[in-house]
Structure 1
Amino acid sequence: MSENIGCHIIRLKEIDSTNSYLKDKSELLQRNGLVVIAEMQVSGRGRAGRKFTSV
């Protein structure tokens, strides 16, 4: 299963949240091994609703 991670990579310059991005694009979740990378997140969300920002 872990050998599939990184088979499909989406790189973004800036995004509000990678979680929000994927929620809005649920069709992308059909791809096994999908990874979304952002250079900057301006409204990142962590576990239990914790917020963070990229620096």
Structure 2
Amino acid sequence: MSKCAICGNEQDQKYRPFCSKRCADVDLHRWLSGGYAIPAVEEDDPSDDDQEQNR
């Protein structure tokens, strides 16, 4: 049987891919609080450079 995505215990079919409602709620909280956010690297906007040169 597969492991719980949060704690590593065996999954419960009712809460798949988690073992319990608690682990499912922990995962939901991480999504809602931004815990799973993907870090972004902002690139320089070429239009900003054009505006500075025109000043």
TM-score band w.r.t. shorter chain: under 0.3
Name which one, 1 or 2, has greater alpha-carbon Rg.
2
Higher helix share: 2
